[in-house]
A and B are shown apart, each in its own frame.
Chain A
Amino acid sequence: MEQPLSGMRVLEVGGTIAVAAATKQFSDFGAEVIKIEPPAGGELRRTPPFADDRPHLDTGAYHLALDTGKRSLVLDVETPSGREVLGRLCSGAQLLFLQLPPEAAGRVLGVADSESGPSTVAISPHGLDGPYAGRVENDMSMFAWTTRMYRHAVEADGEPLRYAPNVATMQVGATAAAVGFGAAWGQAHDGTRRHVDVSGVEALAGNVDTGYVDWVLLGTERRARGRMTENYPIGNYACRDGYVMFAATLGPQFQRLCTAIGHPELVDDPRFNEPIAKSQHWADFMEFLGPWLDARTRSEVFHEMQAHRVMVAPVLDMSEVTEDPQAKARGSFVTVEQPLVGPVTIHGAPFQMEEAWEARPSPRLGEHGTEILDALGYGRDEQIALFRAGVTG
C-alpha cells in the first residue's frame, strides 16, 4: 500500500517554524515536499536548541523534527531569477505554503497564479491585509492577542504567560496544514484553485482554549485562580514522586474518587454533599485525600483511580515522556538516523493509520539543489549562473 499522500507535490517558502510544521504533515504521510529556503537558512534552522549546544543550520531540534523527508533548495525568491525557478516548480505542485512579509508574499503568490498553479496557503501573524498586516510578531506577542495568556497566569494579579516556546506557532502551522489539505482536495475534485490566508492570531483565537466564547455567552472572564478549593479536586496535586492532574469535581467523578480512596461515605457527608458546604471544607477533604496521595506514586494514583474511571493523569517531565508505557506501546516516539547528528528521537505520527506515516532524515541546507534544478530542465551553465548571482546556494 502506498502512503496516503504519495503523488502529491507540496512547496514550502519562507523557512519559518509555522510553515515547516505545516508541510511536515504532508512529507511524513508521503507527499514530496520541496523546502525552498533563504540562503541564510531562515527562522526554523536558527531556532534553538541545537545538538550539544553548538548552533548549526543543520543540527537544530526544530529542523531535525519538522523537516523530515523534505528536499531542500536554497532559492532567493526576492529576485526575478528566483521567482522564475519558483514558477517552474509551481506548475507541478498541488499546494504552496508560504510565510513572508505581505509584499514579498504578494510577489510569490503572483508567481503561483496561473491556471495550472497550486492552491496557496499564506501564513502570517495578522493576515495579509488590515492595519497590522505589516507588523512583526513572535510566538509570545502573537499569543498575547488571542486571550489565552491571562488564563495561564500563575497568580490572579501576576504576569500573563504564554505556552512553552513556539507551541502556539506550531498550532498555527497545523491549522494551515489541515485547511490547506482541504483546499488541495477541493482543487483535485472541482478544479478550483483556492487561496488560504492564515492569520496566526485568528487561527489561535478561533480555536478552543481561549476565554472568548465563555465571555460572550456567560459574561465571565476567567483568570488564573491558583488552587481551586471551592470545587475539587481539580488541578495539580502532589503525591509521593511528583504531581498528578485531577479533573474530578463533578458528581459522578467525585463519587468514584471517594470510593477509590476507600471513603465512599464522604459522598453523603454533610461537609461535601452539596456545593456550598463542599466549598467550605477543602481542608477537611484533604485529610482524606492527602495521605492517600502521599502513600502512592504518580503511576499508582493513575492506575488505581482510573480503575474507578476517575479523571486523573500523571504530570510527566519531558525526560519521562518517552518512557511512558502508553507512548512505548504505541510507538509515540521514533528515532531517525540524521546524517550529521546520528540517531535522534522525535515525536511520532499525530494520528495512527496503517502504513501511512514515516519520518525520514531532514535535509542539509540546499542538499537537493542540483537534482531539483536538473529535473526542472536547467542546464549546468544556467545553474552556475544562478549560483554565481547568489540566487541559489
Chain B
Amino acid sequence: MADKILDTNDDLIIAGRSFTSRLLIGTGKYNSFKETRSAIDASHSKIVTVAIRRVNLGQSPDEPSLLDFLPPDEFTYLPNTAGCYSSDEAIRTLRLARELLDGHSLVKLEVLGDSETLYPNVIETINAAKILIKDGFDVMVYTSDDPIIAKQLEDIGCCAIMPLASLIGSGMGILNPWNLEIIIDKSNVPVIVDAGVGTASDATIAMELGCDGVLMNTAIALADNPILMASAMKKAVESGREAFIAGRMDKKLYRASPSSPIKGLIK
C-alpha cells in the first residue's frame, strides 16, 4: 500500500528474495487445515512457518496434509526448529527440512533454553547459526531482545534478526520497545518481531518502531475469529509501516499546541 503513495517499491527483502507482505504467519494451533488456509489468505501473507516432525505412519494414504492446503509453490515455507534445545538438534532438523523441501535454504532458527518460558538459548543459537550459515543456509534467527546478541547474529551472517516482543504464545505484546529500537537502529539486515504479538495494535506498534516485518501465530489462531483477526493483522502491519515511513510528529510532553488558529477569534 505504501508503494502506491510513495511511488517506490516497499517490498520486504530477505536474503535477496522480495515479498509484497511484511506479515509472516505460523501454521500451528488452528482448528483445521481449511481454517489455516483461510486465515493466511485473509492476511495476504506470503511466508509461512512450519515445524518438522515425525510423519504419522498410521495415517491412511488419502489423509490430507498441510502441504495440500498450502502448496509450497504458492507460499514461501520457513521451516523452524521449534522444540530444539541444542544446536545439534536444530542443525539436524534444518538439514532434514532442506531435503524435505527440495533444497530450499531459507529457514528460521530457534534454539530454546527452557520449556516453560520457551526463551531462546542465545549461546546455542549462535553456535547453530555459525554452522548452518557455513552449510549454505539463509538463516532467519529467533533471539532475545539483547542488542549485542542481535548484532553478533547479524555479523556471523544471519539474513534476518527476529527478536521476541514477549514470550511465545503469551500475547503480551511489545514489552520492551526501547531494546527493539536499539536493535533496529544498529541492524543492517531486516528485523522481524517474532513472538508475543496478541492483537492488531501490537503489530502496528512493532512496525511504527521501524521493524521490517512481524511474525505471529497464536494471535491469529487463538482469536475468536481467526480469519477476521488475520485481516486485522494485515491492515495493522500495513498501517504501522505507512506511519513509520510517513514520519510521525514529535511528542510534546505536557505541552499542548492548538490545531486551530488563534487569530480571528470571535470576541
**Are A and B interaction partners?**
no
Chain B positions near chain A (C-beta within 8 angstroms): none
Chain A positions near chain B (C-beta within 8 angstroms): none
